[in-house]
């Protein structure tokens, strides 16, 4: 996508899994990609892999729950490259647990990362987009943003909230050259899905392989979603080709949820 050449992108939760693939994919398009995550060592290794392939990356340790850390990230990117033009809110946590058994701390932590973290990033990076009359915000939500799932009440609530934020910001920025959209993946073939499968396997007595097959079987295509499928859609949404699309939530889930 020639329109993305040289664009400045921030990807949160970029040290592994889907976040790493998002960063890699935008770097392949010629973007300058600031990669944010909490684990500095893992993040640096991930950024180095992309840089080895010719991508321009800037790793920066950042906990999106803390607005002051997001502000430091913005300052660093501004110093090195300039104002952020594309924001990918990918950082998130998803831990499976029955609502009755869930400690309050898990509820607060999940909303703080998945919803407040996205709020903090939008709050910090959106003003410059509006000022320049061009910007893209892509929130990585989930099919749980549209329908309920058992044993992930905190995650489901946070993603419903993220979808609401997406739609509200899309309306507020519709005439400012900024688009705000969400991608709603189903079960992605990454570390997060495998970690949840391990947790459920311990509680149910099933094997991890059996649990992963249950996840895959929830979609008509009977498979998990490859991270590159989500990342490729994000690139398209960020491009000029879809400049007229805003406030949308696109499912990439093998047909599991058709709303």
**Of all residues in the chain, what percent carry a pLDDT higher than 90?**
91
Question: Is residue 244 in a domain?
Answer: yes
Across 65-82, average pLDDT: 98
Question: Is residue 196 in a domain?
Answer: no
**pLDDT tens, residue by residue, 76-132:** 999 999 999 999 999 999 998 899 999 999 999 999 999 999 999 999 999 999 999
Question: Is residue 90 in a domain?
Answer: yes
Question: Is residue 215 in a domain?
Answer: no
Question: Is residue 85 in a domain?
Answer: yes
Q: Which neighbouring-strand residues pair with 61? A: 37
Question: Is residue 138 in a domain?
Answer: yes
Tally of domains within the chain: 1
Whether 167 and 126 have beta carbons less than 8 Å apart is answered as no
Task: Supply the CATH number for residue 88's domain.
Answer: 3.40.50.720
pTM of the model: 0.96
pLDDT for res 1: 67
Domain of residue 69: give its range: 2-187+226-252
**pLDDT tens, residue by residue, 178-227:** 999 999 999 999 988 888 888 888 888 999 999 999 999 999 999 999 99
| Average pLDDT over the chain, rounded to an integer | 96
Question: Is residue 155 in a domain?
Answer: yes
pLDDT for res 56: 97
* Full DSSP string of 103-134: -HHHHHHHHIIIIIHHHHHHHHHHHHHHHHT-
Question: Is residue 48 in a domain?
Answer: yes
Active site residues: 155
């Amino acid at each position: 996508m020639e329109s993305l050449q040289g664009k400045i992108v921030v990807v949160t939760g970029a040290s592994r899994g889907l976040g790493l693939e998002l960063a890699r994919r935008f770097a392949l398009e010629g973007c300058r990609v600031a990669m944010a995550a909490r684990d500095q060592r893992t993040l640096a290794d991930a950024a180095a892999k992309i840089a080895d392939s010719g991508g321009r990356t800037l790793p920066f340790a950042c906990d999106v729950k803390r607005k002051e850390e997001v502000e430091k990230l913005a300052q660093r990117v501004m110093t090195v490259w300039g104002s952020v033009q594309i924001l990918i809110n990918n950082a998130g946590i998803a831990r499976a647990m029955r609502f009755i058994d869930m400690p309050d701390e898990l509820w607060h932590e999940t909303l703080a990362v998945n919803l407040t973290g996205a709020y903090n990033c939008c709050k910090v990076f959106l003003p410059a987009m509006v000022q320049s009359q061009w910007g893209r915000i892509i929130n990585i939500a989930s099919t749980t943003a549209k329908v309920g799932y058992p044993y992930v009440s905190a995650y489901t609530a946070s993603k419903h909230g993220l979808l609401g934020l997406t739609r509200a910001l899309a309306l507020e920025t519709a005439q400012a050259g900024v688009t705000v959209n969400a991608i709603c993946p189903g079960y992605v073939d990454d570390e997060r899905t495998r970690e949840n499968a391990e947790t459920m396997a311990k509680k149910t007595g099933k094997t991890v392989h059996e649990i992963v097959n249950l996840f895959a079987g929830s979609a008509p295509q009977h498979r998990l979603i490859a991270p590159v499928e989500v990342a490729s859609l994000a690139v398209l949404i960020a491009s000029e080709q879809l400049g007229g699309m805003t406030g949308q939530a696109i499912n990439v889930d093998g047909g599991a949820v058709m709303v």
